[in-house]
Amino acid sequence: MGDRQIFYRTDVSKVTGETGWTLRMLFFRVCIPVIIFAAVLAVIGHGLGWFGEAGEVAQREFGAGAAVYKYEWFKDKSNSLVAAEERIKITDQALTDFKESAGEREKWTFEDKDEYSRLTTDLRGQKAHFEQLKAEYRAACLTVNRAVFKGDDKIIRWADELTVVDEAK
């Protein structure tokens, strides 16, 4: 029984040694290259992610949907500016007509003074609203990602002239 135990131990030692050697070789020949390959893929994927992000930004800012939205935005603002300018003219004319019909200021009644105050307040509010619209429009004209979608009409040329004047200061 003694010799058999020695052979058994010898066999176990050989198997253990060979198994260790096999695992080390497997690690160096398979696992390390797989880890290196995964690391290279991760670096390449990260690098391509930068290009992918740039593509996503370009699509979001200059894609078909963005182009339509920005073009419509300029048209809406342009129409809003024209409408606001017309409202100012109408209110200014109403104020002028009121002054002519009310006569001398010293003879105005309380209602005349109240109407004059209402008209002047309305006119100031409309002018402030017009200035806000104009500022938004000019700011959009200066941004690269919106300016390319401007149309060619009176308001746009007019806003461009205002922008040039502001930049010269």
Residue 149: count other Cβ atoms within 10 Å of its Cβ.
Answer: 18
Q: What is the pLDDT of residues 2-31, one digit of tens each?
A: 555 565 566 666 666 677 767 677 667 766
DSSP 6: H
The predicted model scores a pTM of: 0.55
Kindly list the distances between the CA atom of residue 139 and the CA atoms of 5, 110, 134, 165, in Å, as whole numbers in the listed order: 92, 43, 9, 14
pLDDT in tens, 115-162: 999 999 999 999 999 999 988 888 887 775 665 555 555 555 555 555
| Closest residue by Cα to residue 139 from 85, 74, 64, 63 | 74
Contact (CB, 8 A) for 148 and 66: no
d(CA 52, CA 145): 19
Who contacts 95 (Cβ-Cβ below 8 Å, separation ≥6)?
Answer: 116, 119, 120, 123
Confidence label for 167 from pLDDT (cuts 50, 70 and 90):
very low
Return d(Cα 160, Cα 139) in angstroms, integer.
10
